[in-house]
Structure 1
Amino acid sequence: MLKSIPPILGPELLYILRAMGHGDEIAIVDANFPAESSGPQVVRLDGQSATDVTDAILSLMPLDSYADESAICMQVVGNPDQREPIMDEFEAIVVRHETDRALGSLERFAFYERVETAYAIVQTGEARLYGNIILKKGIIRPN
């Protein structure tokens, strides 16, 4: 155990978060997402929700303030303007950690393609549909 580091972030995921550079992306995905076949390294957190993992990651990792969208969810198939409750939860988490950031969205297959270029994927045990988010890493500004 370490001080101030959420215990759901194990050593493998902490290494990935530290190794990522500015502009690199990490995908936090639900239990239904085809993570293993998407390409990037996969870290499994089967017993955790996507929202808890997102909250834990954002407690350590800044979002990219230069990007138009640095937190992106998957749109509902056939109804891109529909907001699932988990999307509102993701947005509340993002805003709590990065007050000037909002949640963007991508069509399902565009989201899949974006995940294929991510630095890593965290597959959670999230059972809620559309429990997927991509986070783009930002920088830590010197004091």
Structure 2
Amino acid sequence: MKKTALLNSEISYVIAKMGHLDMIAIGDCGLPVPSHVPKIDIALTAGVPGFIETLQAVLSELHVEKAWVASELVSGGSPVYGQLTELLQGVQIGHLPHETFKTRIAEYAVAVIRTGECTPYANVILQSGVTF
């Protein structure tokens, strides 16, 4: 059995395959995922698992160089944005209009992790960095 925090085999597999500049998204339960982008659906019920706890687990294995969120998350005053910025201290966080955010997923994401989160715009794109 794995010793690290992240136990989901599909998520671990995708992260292990990621190279520098590859992108993975973590989304709320309503984020549309293009049919050509692999979706790892971990949603169980409304709110379970949450966005922040999923992000924490992913960050236990993924070195993040840059991240993007929808500008609507920032302007909406959601506490999720504050929690996200605390977890991503030292990481450049870009803001994109939601439609542009979804286009970036369609063009660049190697996978989308769908959570049970119900907070509007609680989504992030994480760009893989290097550990050296």
TM bracket (short chain): 0.7 to 0.9
Higher relative helix content: 2
1:41 is the counterpart of 2:38: yes
Q: What is the distance in 2 between the residues matched to 1:23 and 1:83?
A: 29
SS state of the match for residue 109, structure 2? Answer: coil
Shift of 1:105: 1.2
Looking at structure 2, the residues matched to 4 and 76 of structure 1 have their Cα atoms a distance apart, in angstroms, of 33
TM-score by length of 2: 0.87
Identity, % of aligned positions? 26
The runs of at least 4 consecutive aligned structure 1 residues that moved more than 6 Å come to none
Gaps of 5+ in 2: none
In the aligned structure 1, how far is the partner of 2:118 from the partner of 2:80?
A: 11
Please list every run of 5 or more consecutive structure 1 residues that lacks an aligned counterpart in the other structure: 65-69
> Which of 59, 84, 104 in structure 2 is aligned with 1:90?
84
What residue is the counterpart of 1:60 in the other structure?
Answer: 61
Aligned-pair CA distance for 1:104: 2.1
Give the alignment's TM-score, normalised by structure 1: 0.81
Query: How many residues are treated as equivalent by the alignment?
Result: 127
The structure with more strand, counted as a fraction of residues: 2
Residue pair 1:27, 1:132 contacting (<8 A) in 2 also: yes
For the pair 1:122 / 2:113, whether they are aligned, the reply is yes
* Aligned Cα root-mean-square deviation (Å): 1.7
**1:1-143 alignment, distance < 5 Å:** 1-7=1-7, 10-35=8-33, 37=34, 39-46=36-43, 47-64=48-65, 70-76=66-72, 81-95=75-89, 100-116=90-106, 117-141=108-132
- 1:38 and 1:115 in contact (8 A); partners too: no
